[in-house]
């Protein structure tokens, strides 16, 4: 049963770890897999796919005709849902697209910035106990809006070598270029190093289990990554006007992800706290993933009774949750005080699941307290920015003494000379 605490008992660092724990044993296993993939390429990935996924494949890449086939066979209603969700995601992320700029306010001087898309992005889509067509949309669409020419997707195959039709239909809708049947650390290694059949990417995005997260951390620097994600989190701030059954359902929407997921409620009402605890006990047995929910709620769930809504927001800011629901009468009055959260859901009719699938903002979000300093996946993740500088000789001459002096004070004579030499008599 979930524990109810008073605000004075709260230690935010104990509720959600502010760092992803490093497991040396898992690191060693992942390093061994990455080494195999780097040395043996496709052969290693195919062997690991047989060993870990039980799938014997002739080739890693799924033929394009299989993607077309999955799209054509998908029921029309779900296809419409995918298209509508994709349009919402595009509309939201289109606002994030950056443009080049030039500054020419000083005579003889041009300064500017060029925004250039990555050449190739890799998208990891988990398989296993749940399927994630939504992740395909959320991660591929910003890349395409950024102008990335090629988006490749890796996802674990079933034992018969097939891939979920919903995931493939989403790939078609989102504009994924190529699909590879591979999962786990070996998929991350293949995309990071490149193999005979898998192209090397510039950035890897997407969620995964501890082996995937560890592999992403270990290849970072060779390629870029979105983040090292921990277990999913939700924090709900609720007042006495809320329906406890609704709050319980929202907490369980995260608990069912993972036994390590964190579901937290901060409320100003002791009566609501008790009612939500009872509602959780009623709802958990009815869920298909009840065993996962049970362990997550009992071990990592908490209900915190705060003295005020301002105090509740202060607790939330300490925790910096991945998902924050403001289930109060006037959520907009609290919004300015929220400093640390991945995605914020306002009011009583914006459950977190709305953001996971349909509304438009990205659902790839910072976890484990990293919302203190990082942001949701966006178009910015798929571009790089280069600055440029142009000076005429006359413009350089006006500032040369200052640049030479600056370099000299830092003890870098060659820097100073590279400016001064341009004005010395031949």
Q: What is the mean pLDDT of residues 15-37?
A: 82
**Pairing relation of β-strands 101-103 and 109-117?**
antiparallel
| The pLDDT of residue 305 is above 90 | yes
Give 135-177 pLDDT, tens digit per residue: 999 999 999 999 999 999 999 999 999 999 999 999 999 999 9
> What's 222's DSSP letter?
T
Q: Which helix (H) or strand (E) holds 312?
A: helix 309-319
Other residues' Cβ atoms within 10 Å of the Cβ of residue 408: 14
Spatial separation of the C-alpha atoms in residues 395 and 399, rounded to whole Å: 7
Q: Is 71 helix (H, G, I), strand (E, B) or coil?
A: helix
As a whole number of angstroms, the distance between CA 284 and CA 324 comes to: 21
| pLDDT tier for residue 16 given thresholds of 50, 70 and 90 | low
Residue (of 50, 33, 67, 189) closest to 122 by Cα position: 189
For the segment 340-365, the average pLDDT, to the nearest whole number, is 97
Mean pLDDT of the chain: 95
Mean pLDDT of 196-216: 96
Of the residues 93, 246, 257, 323, which is catalytic? 323
pLDDT band at 22 (very low <50, low <70, confident <90, very high): low
| pLDDT confidence band for 9 (50 / 70 / 90) | confident
pLDDT of residue 313: 97
First to last CA, the chain: 85
Mean pLDDT value across residues 62-85: 95
pLDDT band for 338, please (50, 70, 90 cuts).
very high
Q: Establish whether 323 is a catalytic residue.
A: yes
Closest CA to 423 of 386, 398, 388: 398
Q: In this predicted model, what pLDDT tens digit does every residue of 377-391 receive, in sequence order?
A: 999 999 999 999 999
Reply yes or no on whether the pLDDT at 42 is more than 90. yes
Which among 36, 233, 256, 322 is annotated as catalytic? 322
């Amino acid at each position: 049963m979930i524990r109810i605490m008073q605000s004075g008992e709260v230690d935010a660092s104990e509720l959600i770890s502010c760092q992803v724990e490093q497991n040396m044993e898992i690191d060693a296993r992942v390093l061994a897999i990455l080494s195999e993939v780097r040395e043996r390429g496709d052969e290693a990935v195919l062997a690991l796919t047989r060993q870990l996924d039980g799938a014997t494949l002739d080739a890693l890449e799924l033929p394009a005709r299989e993607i077309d086939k999955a799209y054509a066979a998908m029921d029309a209603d779900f296809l419409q849902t995918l298209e509508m969700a994709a349009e919402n995601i595009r509309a939201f992320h289109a606002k994030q697209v950056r443009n080049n700029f030039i500054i020419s306010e000083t005579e003889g001087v041009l300064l500017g910035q060029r925004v250039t898309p990555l050449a190739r992005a890799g998208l990891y889509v988990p398989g296993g106990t749940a399927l994630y067509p939504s992740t395909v949309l959320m991660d591929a669409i910003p890349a395409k809006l950024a102008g990335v020419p090629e988006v490749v997707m890796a996802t674990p195959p079933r034992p018969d070598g097939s891939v979920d039709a919903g995931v493939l239909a989403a790939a078609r809708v989102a504009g994924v270029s190529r699909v590879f049947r591979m999962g786990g650390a070996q998929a991350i290694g293949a995309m990071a190093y490149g193999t005979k059949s898998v192209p090397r990417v510039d950035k890897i995005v997407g969620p995964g289990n501890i082996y995937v997260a560890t592999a992403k951390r270990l290849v970072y620097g060779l390629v870029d990554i979105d983040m090292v994600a921990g277990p999913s989190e939700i924090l709900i701030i609720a007042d006495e006007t809320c329906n406890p059954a609704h709050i319980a359902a929202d907490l369980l929407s995260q608990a069912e992800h993972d036994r390590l997921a964190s579901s937290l409620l901060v409320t100003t009402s002791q009566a609501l706290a008790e009612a939500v605890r009872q509602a959780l006990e009623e709802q958990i047995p009815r869920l298909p993933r009840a065993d996962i929910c049970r362990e997550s709620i009992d071990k990592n769930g908490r209900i915190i009774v705060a003295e005020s809504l301002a105090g509740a927001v202060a607790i939330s800011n300490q925790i910096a949750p991945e998902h924050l629901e403001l289930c109060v009468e006037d959520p907009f009055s609290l919004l300015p005080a929220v400093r640390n959260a991945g995605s914020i859901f306002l009011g009583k009719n914006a459950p977190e699941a709305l953001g996971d699938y349909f509304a438009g903002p990205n659902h790839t979000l910072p976890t484990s307290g990293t919302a203190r300093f990082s942001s949701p996946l966006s178009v910015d993740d798929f571009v790089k920015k280069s600055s440029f500088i142009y000076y005429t000789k006359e413009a350089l001459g006006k500032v040369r003494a200052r640049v030479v002096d600056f370099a000299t004070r830092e003890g870098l004579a060659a820097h100073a000379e590279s400016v001064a030499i341009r004005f010395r008599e031949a």
